């Protein structure tokens, strides 16, 4: 990857985002609430975007890693939880895209990566985390629409849908147990996700847009993302 291709990771203080920040090194900057950029806050986001665009110009790569997960059946969920999950998983991606994509499109180049979840695009019911998966399904749809909107401007937009991915906040014992359900026989690691990001940010990704890359060791092959997969994702028994 060329060094002038700067990457912004939204949600880069933990998990997959933090790993990506470490992986990309100096050509990468990140936002998170721990760096005083809450992207669900329109004013904070606008200020941070203005600062970034003034200081560095539009990023080449924009990777959105924000996405809270909560298990709660629909009828047990209140409006506050609905709003939180839609905001964290969908609205923030929309808000960040609105702030930065026009400048990326004006520059005539760019790569956007959004994070969905394995199974979100499948038709089966998502009984344990229906609101989370509803938000991720909408995110998948938004990814494709956004890809069309900026395709003529040299900007690609794709999503990655992880399954069970270990990181520093994961519960090792739970993951070890649940990894048995993954057809490839183990939980995923950050090393399984990073090559896909590298592909999409690199020269090899130039002709890929509107696609979803499932990185789940085959977990979603078990059918939908109902209780079994959802339990697998967050460490609960069916």
Residues that bind ligand NAP (CB under 6 A): 11-17, 31-34, 37-40, 65-67, 69, 88, 92, 115, 117, 162, 164-165, 167, 169, 233
CB of 106 to ligand NAP, least distance (A): 25
CB of 69 to ligand NAP, least distance (A): 6
CB of 146 to ligand NAP, least distance (A): 16
Whichever of 124 and 154 has its CB closer to ligand NAP, that residue is 124
CB 128 within 8 A of CB 230: yes
Of 131, 35, 121, residue with least CA distance to 75: 131
Whichever of 24 and 117 has its CB closer to ligand NAP, that residue is 117
Q: 66 is written with which tokens? A: 């924000």
Instruction: Tell me the three state secondary structure of residue 235.
Output: coil
Whichever of 34 and 145 has its CB closer to ligand NAP, that residue is 34
Measured CA to CA, the distance from residue 158 to residue 114 in angstroms comes to: 6
CB of 145 to ligand NAP, least distance (A): 18
Measured CA to CA, the distance from residue 155 to residue 211 in angstroms comes to: 13
CB of 108 to ligand NAP, least distance (A): 28
Whichever of 41 and 153 has its CB closer to ligand NAP, that residue is 41
Measured CA to CA, the distance from residue 190 to residue 228 in angstroms comes to: 22
Whichever of 13 and 109 has its CB closer to ligand NAP, that residue is 13
Question: How many CB atoms are located within 10 Å of the residue 31 CB?
Answer: 26
Terminal-residue alpha carbon distance, the chain: 43
């Amino acid at each position: 990857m060329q060094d002038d291709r700067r990457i912004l990771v939204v949600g880069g203080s933990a998990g997959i985002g933090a790993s990506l920040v470490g992986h990309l090194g100096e050509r990468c900057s990140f936002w998170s609430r721990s760096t005083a950029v809450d992207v669900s806050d329109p004013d904070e986001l606008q200020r941070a975007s203005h600062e970034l665009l003034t200081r560095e110009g539009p990023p080449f790569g924009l990777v959105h890693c924000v996405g809270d997960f909560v298990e709660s059946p629909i009828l047990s969920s209140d409006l506050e939880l609905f709003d939180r999950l839609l905001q964290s998983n969908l609205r923030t991606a929309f808000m960040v895209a609105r702030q930065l994509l026009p400048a990326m499109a004006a520059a005539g180049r760019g790569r956007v990566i959004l994070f969905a979840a394995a199974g979100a695009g499948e038709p089966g019911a998502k009984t344990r985390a229906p609101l989370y998966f509803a938000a991720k399904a909408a995110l998948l749809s938004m990814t494709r629409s956004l890809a069309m909107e900026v395709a003529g401007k040299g900007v690609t937009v794709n999503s990655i849908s992880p399954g069970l991915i270990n990181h520093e906040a994961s519960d090792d014992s739970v993951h070890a147990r649940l990894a048995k359900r993954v057809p490839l026989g183990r939980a995923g690691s950050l090393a399984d996700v990073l090559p896909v990001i590298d592909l999409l940010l690199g020269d090899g990704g130039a002709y890929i847009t509107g696609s979803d890359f499932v990185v789940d060791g085959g977990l979603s092959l078990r059918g939908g993302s109902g209780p079994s997969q959802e339990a697998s994702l967050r460490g609960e028994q069916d």
